[in-house]
Amino acid sequence: MYPGTYARTTPDKPAVIMAGSGRSLTYRELDENSTRLARLLHEAGLRRGDGIALLSDNNVRYLEVYWAALRSGLYVTAVNHHLNPDEVAYIVEDCGARALIASAAVGPLAEAVVGTTPGVEVRLAYDGPVAGHTDYLGALKQVSGEPLDVEPAGADMLYSSGTTGRPKGVRSPLPDRQIHEPGDTLVAVFAAIYGFDEDSVYLSPAPAYHAAPLRFCSLVHRTGGTVIMMERFDAEKALAAIEEHRVTHSQWVPTMFVRMLKLPEEVRDRYELDSLRVAIHAAAPCPVEVKRAMIDWWGPTLFEYYAATEANGVTLIDSAQWLAKPGSVGRAALGVLHICDDEGTELPSGSVGTVYFERDEVPFEYHGDQAKTRETQHPQHPTWTTTGDVGYADDEGFLFLTDRKAFMIISGGVNIYPQEVENALALHPKVYDVAVIGLPDEDLGEQVKAVVQAAPGVPTGPGLERELIDFVRERIAHYKAPRSIDFVDDLPRSPTGKLVKRLIRARYE
C-alpha cells in the first residue's frame, strides 16, 4: 500500500494534521503533490539511485517530499535543521544530493549552504521565499500530475546522530519492486503487531528528520491512517493532542516519558487518554522506574522495540512481557540475536557482550566508508552486524541492553556502564537531566563522573552532590557510583533524547 491507494478510496481524509496549527494535508493532496514532485525531479534528470536532501522543520510538506522519493526510486536524506551550515553542507554533499528541498522556517540555513553544496542542481523552498531557491508549489504547477510510467520504490538514507563522532550515512539496497507492490519490511514487522490500519491516529512528537518518526509516519500512510505531527515536543501539549485528536497510536523516547511524569499531578489528570491503545517507545534505553511509572499511568499500552537506523535487526516486547522481565527490550523479531566477546566468540546466556544480529545478507552500508562498514561485521560471520551496543540475553532469548561499547568506563579494571548510573538518577525529584562519563584517573585508569542539570529552582552545591551520590549507592553497587558530580545549566541531547556525549566529554578535554 501507499498514499495513492487511499487517495482513490478516501481522498478527503487527512493524511497529516499539525498538532499546533491544525494545518492539514489530505490523501489526495499528498498523492498529487508527491506525484508532481517525482515527475519534476525525473524531468530534471534524476534517476533510480540518485539522491535528494530535505531540510525542514516539522511540516506537512515533509511527507510529500519523502513520498516523492519513495515513489521514484530515489534516496532521500532528511537533514537535521539544528546543525550548523558546515555540518549541513557536509551531509548534503556526502549523500550526493542532486536536489535540495527546504522550508522557509529554516531559510537562512538553506541560503547559507548554497555556495558550499555545488552538487545540488535543483533547489526548491516551500512556505515562503528562500534566496537561491525556486518556489516549491509554483514549480509543481509547471509539471504534469500524471504518475511516472514506472514508479520504482525508493528508500531513505539517513545519517546517524553523531553522538560519538561525525555522522555516518546509512545506505540500504533499493527495493526491487514498484511502490504499489507488496514487500515492505516496515509493514511486515510492525503493522500487524501494533494494529496499524485505516482507523489509526498516530501522534508523532519527535523531529521528522530521525529514522523512527519518518519511517513510522510513512507506515501510517501505507496503512491508511492519520498522522498528528507536533511542531516540537512539549509534555503537556502532547497530552492535549492525544485528547483532542483521539490518538490511538504514538511513539516516544524515554526523555519524553520523564518530562511527562514530572508534570504536576493535577496537569496529568486533566487530559482524557482513553483512546490511546499503543504507546511505542524506542531510540534510547528506558530506566526501569520510568517505564514502570508509565505503565502504572497509561496501563499495558507500552510497546518497546530495539532497533537502529541501520535496520540490521529488531527486538520487540509488550507491557506484560516487560513486567515479567523488567529492563528487557524483548526477543528478536528481525534477525537472529547473538552476544559475542571482543574476539567474536559467542557467549552463553547471561554473559555481557556485543550485540549482533544475523541476517541473510548485510542490510546496510555506511555510505562511502567501506572500512567503517566492515567494523560493524563479525570477524568470522560477515552477515552478523552490530551498531556497538552491549548487553546480554537470558535463557529465553530476551535481550537486556547494558550500554554502548563506546561509553563504557573501565575503573580499576572493572567495566562500568554509565547507563546504569543514569537510570538510577533519572527520577530523582531534584534531577532534571543527567549524563555519566569516565574521566582519566591516575590510580584507577578512569573514574565515574556525573554531570547533572538540576530541576528548576533547586539549589546546587556540595549538599546536593552528597545527596545524589548516596541516592545512587542505595540502588547500585558503591563502586559504580559517581566519585563526584558537576552541575551544569544544560546537557546536549539530540531531539530524540540521546545524550551527545562527545560534547560533554569535550568540556573536560
Q: What is the pLDDT of residues 350-392, one digit of tens each?
A: 999 999 999 999 889 989 888 888 989 999 999 999 988 889 9
Confidence at residue 408, expressed as pLDDT on a 0 to 100 scale: 76
Mean pLDDT, range 222-251, rounded to an integer: 97
Q: What is the pLDDT of residue 478?
A: 87
31 Cβ contact partners less than 8 Å away, ≥ 6 residues apart: 3, 4, 6, 7, 67
**165 pLDDT exceeds 60?**
no
CATH code of the region 408-506: 3.30.300.30
Q: Looking at per-residue confidence, does 194 or 210 come out higher? A: 194
Q: Which fold has domain 26-185?
A: Rossmann fold (3.40.50)
Question: What pLDDT band is residue 161 in, cutting at 50, 70 and 90?
Answer: low
Share of the chain above pLDDT 90, in %: 74
Q: Where in the chain is the domain with CATH 3.40.50.12780?
A: 26-185
What is residue 409's predicted lDDT score, i.e. its pLDDT?
85
Task: Tell me what pLDDT residue 496 has.
Answer: 64
Q: What is the pLDDT of residue 477?
A: 80
Lowest mean pLDDT of 184-193, 206-215, 319-328, name the range. Answer: 184-193
How sure is the predictor about 413, in pLDDT bands with cuts at 50, 70 and 90?
A: low
Q: Which three cell numbers stand for residue 66?
A: 519523502
Burial class (CB in 10 A: 0-12, 13-18, 19+), 364: buried
pLDDT digits (tens, 9 = 90+) for 79-113: 999 888 998 999 999 999 999 999 999 999 999 99
| Euclidean distance between CA atoms 250 and 233, whole angstroms | 13
Question: Taking all residues of the chain, what is their mean pLDDT, rounded to a whole number?
Answer: 92
CA distance 190 to 2: 16
pLDDT value of position 402 = 82
- Band the pLDDT of 415: cuts 50, 70, 90: confident
Q: Within 195-346, where are the H helices?
A: 211-222, 235-245, 254-261, 265-268, 288-298, 319-324
The pLDDT value given to residue 287:
83
Burial code (b: 16+ CB inside 10 Å, e: under 16) for 317-356 equals bbbebbeebebbbbbbbbbebbbbeeebeeeeeeebbbbb
Q: Where in the chain is the domain with CATH 2.30.38.10?
A: 326-406
Residue that wins the pLDDT comparison between 476 and 127? 127
Over range 386-402, report the average pLDDT: 93
Cβ-based neighbours of 163, under 8 Å, separated by 6 or more: 494, 498, 499, 500, 501, 502
Q: For residue 437, what are the β-bridge partners?
A: 449
pLDDT given at position 187: 86
pLDDT at 405 over 70: no
| Residue 217: per-residue pLDDT | 97
Residue 168, classed as helix, strand or coil, is: coil
Calpha distance 343→463 (Å, rounded): 45
Given this model, what pLDDT does residue 445 score? 77
Reported residue count of the chain is 509
Name the segment(s) of the chain with CATH classification 3.30.300.30. 408-506
* CATH architecture of the domain formed by 326-406: Roll (2.30)
